[in-house]
Structure 1
Amino acid sequence: MARRIAYTGAAAITVAEVAAQCRVEAEDLQVDLVEQVIIPGVTAQAESKTGAAIRQAVYEEEWPEAYGSGRPLDVGQADQVLSIGRAESDGSITDLLPLPVHRLEIGQRESFLHFPQGRPPGRLVIRYRAGVDLAAYPGVRKWLLMHAATAHQFRETMVTGHVLHELAASYLDALLADVAVPPRF
C-alpha cells in the first residue's frame, strides 16, 4: 500500500471557485473553513473513493520480491517515477543509482511500472509523483466543487455531527469514474 509523503501541487480547487459554485462572493465565505477544512476534506473524500491522487503529491510504496515487472502502482494517476531503492534487511534503503531501466505505462486509471531489462532483485521501495490532470478530467473538478458547495451549505450540521444525506450519488460519483482505480484482490 502506498503512502503519501507530501503534497507537491496546489489544491485542486480554490476558494474563489468554491465561492462561484456556492453563488456567493469569496469574501462572504468563511475563507479559513473553506481553505483548511472543506477543500482538503472533499479532496480526501475523492481520493478515498477513487484510489487516485487528486492533488499532486509524492507517494512511496514497497514491492516485495514477488511483485513482477508490469504491476500497477497502488495510487492512480502516477506520472513519474522519482526513485527506486532496495530495502535492506536492517531496514535501511539503498537507492539504485543509476535508476534501473524502467518504463511507466500511464493509463487512464492506473500506471504500470515495467522493467524491460528485468526487475531488480529484493524488496523495492518506489517513490513516484501522482496527481490527476484536471484539464483532461473536468468531471473531477466539478465533483469537488459540488461537494465543497454542499459541505459549505450544510457546514453547521456537519460540525455538530448530524448526517448529511448524499446528493444523487450515482450521478455525482460518475464524475469520478474516469479516474477510479479498479478494485484489486
Structure 2
Amino acid sequence: MPRRIEYFGEPVLTLEQVAFQCRLEPEDMEPGLISDIVIPGITTQCESKTGAGIRGAIYEEDWPAAFPSGHALDVGQATEIVSVKVRQPDGTWRDYAGAVDLEQGQRESFVSFPAGRPVGALRIRYKAETDLDLHPGVRNWLLMAAATILRHPEMFLVGQSLSELPSEFLDHLVAEVTVPPRF
C-alpha cells in the first residue's frame, strides 16, 4: 500500500474553472469552500476511485522481496522514480545506485532493474500525476463532480468533508486511467 508523502504543483482545478462549469462568476462563489473543501475532496475521490495519481504527488511504497523486476506500482500515472532503497539485514535502508527503468502504461507503471533486481525488500519513492490535457475525461469528471456538489450541497457536504458522488454516469470519464483490480 503506497503512502502519499506530499503533493506538488497546483491543485487540479481553479476557482475560475469551477465557476465556468457552474455558470457563475468567480466573485459569486465561496472561494474558501471551493479551494479548501470541494477541490481537494473531489481530487481525493477521483484518486481513490481510479487508483491513479491525479494531482502531482510523491508516493512511497514498500516491495517485499518476492516482487520481481517489472512489477507494477500501486499508484497509476507514475512519471518518475525518485529513489530506491534496499533494506539491509540490520533493518536500515541503503540507497540503491543501480539503473532503474520506469515503463509507463496507460493505466499502470512498471519498475524494472536492467542489471537485476536487488535482493531483499525495497522502498520505492516516485512521482505520479495525471496529464489532464492527455486525459480530458478526468478533468471533465472533476468539473462535473464539483458542479454537482455546489448545486446540491445538502446532499454531499457533510461538515468539512464530502460524501461520495453517484458513479453511474461519471465512471466512464475516468476509465482510461483507472488501475485494474489486483485481487
User: TM-score w.r.t. structure 2 length?
Assistant: 0.93
Alignment correspondent of 1:134: 132
Q: 1:166 and 1:36 mapped to 2: Cα distance?
A: 18
1:3 Cα offset (Å): 0.7
1:91 Cα offset (Å): 4.3
Tell me if the contact between 2:149 and 2:157 (Cα under 8 Å) persists in the aligned partners. no
Secondary structure at 2:139's aligned position in 1?
helix
Q: Which residue identity lines up with residue 154 of structure 1 in the other structure?
A: H
1:170 Cα offset (Å): 3.1
Deviations 1:40-77 (A, max 9, x none): 00000000000000000000000110000010000000
Q: How does 1:20-59 map to 2 (within 5 A)?
A: 20-59=20-59
User: TM-score w.r.t. structure 1 length?
Assistant: 0.92
1:90 Cα offset (Å): 4.8
Q: 2:68 and 2:29 mapped to 1: Cα distance?
A: 50
Q: Which residue identity lines up with residue 10 of structure 1 in the other structure?
A: E
1:29 Cα offset (Å): 0.6
Q: 2:158 and 2:105 mapped to 1: Cα distance?
A: 41
Q: 1:56 and 1:113 mapped to 2: Cα distance?
A: 19
Q: How does 1:56-135 map to 2 (within 5 A)?
A: 56-96=56-96, 98=97, 100-135=98-133
1:158 Cα offset (Å): 3.1
Q: Which runs of 5+ in 2 are unaligned?
A: none
Secondary structure at 1:122's aligned position in 2?
coil
1:144 Cα offset (Å): 0.1
Q: 1:74 and 1:170 mapped to 2: Cα distance?
A: 25
1:93 Cα offset (Å): 2.1
Q: Which residue identity lines up with residue 131 of structure 1 in the other structure?
A: E
Tell me if the contact between 2:157 and 2:163 (Cα under 8 Å) persists in the aligned partners. no
Q: Which runs of 5+ in 1 are unaligned?
A: none
Q: Which residue identity lines up with residue 118 of structure 2 in the other structure?
A: P
Alignment correspondent of 1:147: 145
Deviations 1:107-145 (A, max 9, x none): 000000111210011110000000001010000000000
Identity of aligned residues (%): 51
Q: 1:106 to 1:119 in 2, by over 3 A?
A: same
Kindly report the root-mean-square deviation, in angstroms, between the aligned alpha carbons of the 2 structures. Answer: 1.8
